[in-house]
Amino acid sequence: MPKVLSRNFGAVEFAAGEQFFFPNGLPGFPRETAFLPVEIPDQLPLVYLQSVRTPELCFAALPVNCLVADYQFSATVEDLTLIELGRDAVPGLQMLCLALLCFGEDGTASANLRAPIVVNLQNRRGVQAIQNEDRYPIRFPLNPHKAGLTCS
């Protein structure tokens, strides 16, 4: 089994085809094209996106529907074409839609709902789909006192 090294998780074994492939990398990280989704059972629904190339690079993310139950995703034709996904794709069935998390020095946490990570679950190709509309904020505050996240 292949392994990926992670500063946070040590050596993580994974089956071939489990990683997500980002043809153009992520904004600010153009050479980072492969990420392994890492889930820790007692931290679900949190998902870590561990770079296959760089052990120090790992993003924390949450499914967007855990943050906004009726989240309305809109993507450009270019983004959908890049990951071979149709406009009628259903979140949770054909695609995974994750909000990257940001942690402030003051202990606050927020989620980027305006530029979600979108992964075609059939071919595991992904893109960070930057939405031009301002329907959702770049920094959606997370409430640390909320008892738990419920994903629909």
Residue 115 neighbours by CB distance under 10 Å? 17
pLDDT of 144: 59
pLDDT of 145: 57
pLDDT of 71: 92
DSSP 15-75: -TT-SEE-TT-BTTBTT--EEEEE--GGGTT-EEEEESS-TT-EEEEEEHHHH-TT-----
pLDDT of 127: 97
Domain segments of the chain: what residues? Answer: 3-141
Unique residue bearing structure tokens 């760089």: 54
Predicted TM-score of the model (pTM)? 0.91
pLDDT of 150: 58
- CA dist 142 and 144 (Å) reads 6
When computed from its CA atoms, the radius of gyration of the chain, rounded to whole angstroms, is: 15
CATH topology of domain 3-141: BH3618-like (2.30.290)
- CA dist 51 and 133 (Å) reads 29
CA distances from 36 to 50, 71, 74, 105, 141 (A): 5, 25, 25, 26, 26
The per-residue pLDDT string of the chain (152 residues; one tens digit each, 9 = 90 and over) reads 889 999 999 999 999 899 999 999 999 999 999 999 999 999 999 999 999 999 999 999 999 999 999 998 888 999 999 999 998 888 888 999 999 999 999 989 999 999 999 999 999 999 999 988 889 999 999 975 554 555 65
pLDDT of 149: 58
pLDDT of 133: 83
- CA dist 93 and 19 (Å) reads 18
pLDDT of 70: 92
DSSP β-ladder status, 126-128 and 109-120 = antiparallel
pLDDT of 93: 87
- CA dist 86 and 84 (Å) reads 7
